[in-house]
Amino acid sequence: MNYSEFKNKTVFITGAAKGQGRAVALAFAREGANVIAFDLGKKLTYPIYNDGSKSALADLKAEIEALGAKAYVYAGDVRNAADLQAAVEEGVKAFGTIDYLFNNAGICAYGYSHELTENEWDSMIDINLKGAWLAGKYIIPVMRKAGSGVIINNSSVGGLRGMNRLSHYAASKWALVGLTKSWALENAEHGIRVISIHPTGVNTPMNDGLAFMEGATPEEIAVRSAGNLIPVPWIEPEDVADSVLFLCSDKAKYVTGSQYVLDAGLLTR
């Protein structure tokens, strides 16, 4: 599906270097959009996420430019307001405005709620929730000035149900639903739409790390969590990207404040 309206528009993506963020960045680039790619340039608390995102950003920039699109990359931490503010300001300086935001940065790690350390809880909430809020804090005024925009908050099926040994993750992803609905109400009169998406497991390095923590393969983890209902082990990042582009497009102009589920039937049981 071609989206001519994305040509010369600008998308800001957090967690852009790998997985879903990378797939969305490349999908927008193929449509001729400018990409502001924001990802981590230093280590996180959880060792499974220390995966060289800074060098991956450089690789992504090269891939975007090979597609004939323009890219600006920023290595920063979504928990740090100064990093996001600087990336937004420099991105606007490079491209004039920001038309779309894909709030994608996030982490996930197993742990019973009563066994979590305070740092583990804080890291999950700060990255998955505070990071999304901070991105919106600096980008929404840019969109309001333009009188239009679309924000996609990447939640999870865990934002719509409870999750065993993932209470901190589920709490952060449920909170994104409240943020989405509130932003949709606050910004409708400014021509800004806001939607949360809710994928089941996606075939990304993050899920490889979770499987490693469990001593299992990603496919085994998927079957265990889905009870053999999902017909494929994982959703591919490109499938998420297709949905994000659709929701950002004029074809979804009446969609806002909604929860868009990509679960292959998981939530039907």
Q: Which two tokens stand for residue 141?
A: 């005024």
Characterize the bridge pairing of strands 100-103 and 10-14: parallel
74 is annotated as an active-site residue: no
Size of the chain in residues: 269
What's the sign of the alpha-carbon dihedral 137, 109, 63, 39? positive
Q: Are 100 and 11 in contact (CB under 8 A)?
A: yes
Query: Catalytic: which of 49, 169, 254, 260?
Result: 169
Residues 6+ apart with CB under 8 A from 205: 18, 19, 51
Q: Are 88 and 142 in contact (CB under 8 A)?
A: yes
Catalytic center residues: 169
